[in-house]
Amino acid sequence: MRVRIDEDACAGTGQCEMICPEVFVVDTVSRLLTDTPPPDLHATVQEAADNCPTAAIIISNGP
Ligand code: SF4
Residue 19 has pLDDT above 80, yes or no: yes
Most informative mutation of 5, 7, 10, 35 for ligand 1 (most atoms within 8 A of CB): 10
Residue 7 has pLDDT above 80, yes or no: yes
Q: What pLDDT shows up at residue 63?
A: 62
Stated pTM of the model:
0.94
Tally of CA atoms within 13 A in the half-sphere of 30 that contains its CB: 34
Residue 62 has pLDDT above 80, yes or no: no
Over its C-alpha atoms, the chain yields an Rg (Å, rounded) of 10
Q: Which tens digits make up the pLDDT trace of 22-57?
A: 999 999 999 999 999 999 999 999 999 999 999 999
**Cβ(49) to ligand 1 under 6 A?**
no
Which among 44, 37, 30 is positioned nearest to 61, based on CA atoms? 37
Domains of the chain as residue ranges with CATH: 2-60 (3.30.70.20)
